[in-house]
Structure 1
Amino acid sequence: MLTLEPVYLLIGAFLLFAAALDLRSRRRAMSAFWAILSLPFLAGEAILAAARHGTHWPAQAMGIGVIALGVMAAVGDRRPSGDEAALANTREAEAIRLGNRLFGPALLIPLVTLLVALATQYGPAPLRALVDTKQSTLIALGIASVVALAVALRVTGARIDSGLHEGHRLLDTLGWAALLPMLLATLGSVFAATGVGDAIAALVAVVIPIDSRIACLLAFAFGIVLFTAIMGNAFAAFPVLMAGIGLPLLVQRHGAHPAVLGSIGMLTGYCGTLLTPMAANFNIVPVVLLELPDQYAVIRAQLPTALVLFVVNVALLWLLAF
């Protein structure tokens, strides 16, 4: 049965490759950053096995590693390696030559992910037995990424080492922002475990009439957008708002359908992602990559979409969740 372990090992190996290239370029802080980050991907199963047997020092070492990542992110050398101007000219010439074919590999990632995830969830029993269904979406994403890389190499005629070097260049450009989705998802779990959701539930009970279905729904919708804007990602806001408002008030008190509330509620939270510089990997890094003069240009462009999407999502929650 295919699990996430091979996907994690591939990611860890790529991070080690990036660390080796940065070390060769004398960017020691960035090299250490990617090397430390590779360890949980390469040794995650061993760390979990040690924890199950009562050995806690590997997990404690990972905690020290997280602190070290913060230090490395602060002192990392973000200077481009090599002749960046010449490389930029080469990439522009290749982009003109290939035209719209360049979009094919990128579009394959969501398409293949969807097809593999659906096939492993609803396909024939022998097919479902090949993949761990509990992690089928993430496994599908890993498969899709490998397929997209193979197609990209075929379309461009490049060698695999070119793809790895370009991946390293992009990874160095993103820097610490590449970690934000993982860290923010963890932050949401920490908030939920420490009772932040209960505190929000107590506050909401004082501020709004909890017997009003529409008041609870609006508090949930505005709250998840606000928390997402503060923390930068709906992964962090979702468990807090579901624990504080979604489950106790909307599901248990007013009978909302949990699946509808969860799916559309998460999408509502991402309206906040479109509006905040805290979502640096979405809203600030593209500004740097595109060399835009206004650091908030992406947010300004997304503002109308976020507002319209928020109104539509609230309407869908009202119509479909109850």
Structure 2
Amino acid sequence: MIGIGFVYLVAGSFFATCALLGLVDRRWANALFHALLATSFFAGDRIGDLGNGVLVLALVATATSGRMRRGEPADQVAPRGPLLMLALVIPATALGGTLLFKQMPALIDPAQATLVALAIGVLLALILCHLFLRPAPLDGIRAGRRLLDEIGWAAVMPQLLASLGAVFALAGVGDVVGRLVGGAIPAGSVFGAVVAYGLGMALFTIVMGNAFAAFPVMAAAVGIPLLVHQFGGDPAPVAAIGMLAGFCGTLLTPMAANFNIVPAALLELKDRYGVIRAQAATALPLLLFNILLLWWVIR
């Protein structure tokens, strides 16, 4: 059965190739950073908790050493039209594959259908790019490595923050927040619970930098005990709209460095927080809409 192992193999192979290219170019710190990422994908389930902890510390030490070099400017720019159409192969394959693979449980793990389809979409888009644009064999990998080098350590921030959310959930932060929220919400108030959930998702995301980190906390605090169990809400829209509320917080926080700070640096904006300021006018009304939508769904 094809499952998450296939996705890890694809991702690990990419990072391993980036590490080899870094060695060839004598970008030692970049090569080490990519090699550590490749190791986590290839052997993360075999080296145990201690091994993974050491690996993460090595990643942090490498990223903060100041020796990682930024990506080199591209030698040439591919035609925008064909490139855009080929890029759309990825979401199209991910969507179609998700719907198809869930009907093939003997071949594809249904729980990982979306990730498997996404990985296949990336490989298919890469093959089509080589067929239509005919670049040098490793140009696609080099372009990906160049973008990774520009982003630097922030490339792994979503995974680290999502792990932080899991740690918070295991530590019982959700229970503590639930008791505080439960004392502040009027008894039997669906709207109060929805507002607490939506605002909580946004605020925790602003603090933690990632909606995936905020979700375990707010789901344990408000989403499951109040919106689902007490008020009978459907778990699917509660989870989906809650994540959308969290994404509104992503638009407003410098903690989401890979989304908001790195683009400002790459674009060489004078205002370091220019991206956040531009997104605020979208994030706040969208947060209000998500709260009202969830209230309408549950009531």
Could you state the TM-score of these two structures normalised by the residue count of structure 2? 0.93
| Corresponding position of 1:34 | 34
Amino acid in the other structure paired with 2:234: H
Distance (Å, rounded) in 1 between the aligned partners of 2:225 and 2:189: 13
Q: What displacement does 1:24 show?
A: 3.2
Residues 71, 149 of structure 2: 8 Å contact kept: no
Distance in 2 between the 1:81 and 1:290 partners?
Answer: 14
Q: Are 1:11 and 2:3 an aligned pair?
A: no
Between the aligned partners of 1:152 and 1:290, the Cα distance in structure 2 is 26
| Stretches of structure 1 lacking an aligned partner (at least 5 in a row) | 48-57
User: Which residue of the partner structure matches residue 55 of structure 2?
Assistant: 65
Matching residue of 1:240: 217
Alignment partner, residue 24 of structure 1:
24
Within 5 Å, give how 1:256-267 maps onto structure 2.
256-267=233-244
Contact 1:210–1:216 (Cα < 8 Å) also in 2: no
Which one is further off, 198-207 or 268-277? 198-207
**Which residues in structure 2 correspond to 1:73-88 (within 5 Å)?**
73-80=63-70, 84=73, 87=74
Following superposition, the deviation at residue 310 of structure 1 comes to 1.0
Shift of 1:207: 2.6
**How far did residue 80 of structure 1 move?**
3.9
Once residues 22 and 190 of structure 2 are traced to their aligned partners in structure 1, the CA distance between those partners, rounded to angstroms, is: 55
**Distance (whole Å) between structure 2 residues aligned to residue 210 and residue 159 of structure 1:** 65
Letter of the 1:107 partner, please give it: L
Answering whether residue 104 of structure 2 is matched by residue 120 of structure 1, we say no
Q: Distance in 2 between matches of 1:81 and 1:101?
A: 24
1:135 CA displacement: 0.7
1:270 aligns with 2:247: yes
Residue 216 (structure 1) aligns with: 193
CA distance in 1 between partners of 2:71 and 2:171 (Å): 43
1:134 maps to which residue? Answer: 111
**1:100 maps to what in 2?**
81
* Cα displacement string for residues 292-315 of structure 1 (whole angstroms, at most 9, x for unaligned residues): 222222212211221221121111
Three-state SS of the structure 2 residue aligned to 1:65 is helix
- How far off its partner does 1:249 sit? 1.7
Instruction: Write the distance in 2 (CA, Å) between the matches of 1:67 and 1:80.
Output: 21
Does residue 1:157 correspond to 2:134, yes or no? yes
Equivalent residue of 1:256, what SS? coil
Equivalent residue, structure 1, for 2:261: 284
Q: CA contact under 8 A between 2:69 and 2:149: conserved in structure 1? A: no
C-alpha change, 1:212 and 1:43, in structure 2 (3 Å) is same
Residues in 2 aligned to 1:210 and 1:193: alpha-carbon distance in whole angstroms: 27
Of Structure 1 and Structure 2, which has the larger fraction of its residues in helix?
Answer: 1
Q: What SS does the corresponding residue of 1:291 show, helix, strand or coil?
A: coil
- Say which of 168, 176, 187 aligns to 1:191: 168
Change in Cα spacing, 1:24 to 1:221, as seen in structure 2 (3 Å) is: same
Q: 1:271 to 1:255 in 2, by over 3 A?
A: same
CA contact under 8 A between 2:198 and 2:245: conserved in structure 1? yes
> Which one-letter code corresponds to 2:17 in the other structure?
F
Question: Any unmatched runs of 5+ in structure 2?
Answer: none
Q: 1:180 to 1:13 in 2, by over 3 A?
A: same
Which residue does 1:54 correspond to in 2? none
For residue 64 of structure 2, give the secondary structure of its aligned residue in structure 1: helix
8 Å CA contact retained: 2:209, 2:253? yes
CA distance in 1, matches of 2:115, 2:53: 24
Indicate the SS of the match to 1:276: coil
**2:3 match: secondary structure:** coil
Deviation at 1:81, TM superposition (A): 5.8
- Separation in structure 1 between the aligned mates of residue 56 and residue 138 of structure 2, nearest angstrom: 30
Secondary structure class of the residue paired with 2:186: coil
Q: Which amino acid aligns with 2:172?
A: G
Identity over aligned residues, as a percent?
45
Q: Which residue of 1 aligns with 2:146?
A: 169
> Does the 8 Å CA contact 2:6/2:116 hold for their aligned counterparts?
no
Q: Alpha-carbon deviation of 1:209?
A: 2.0
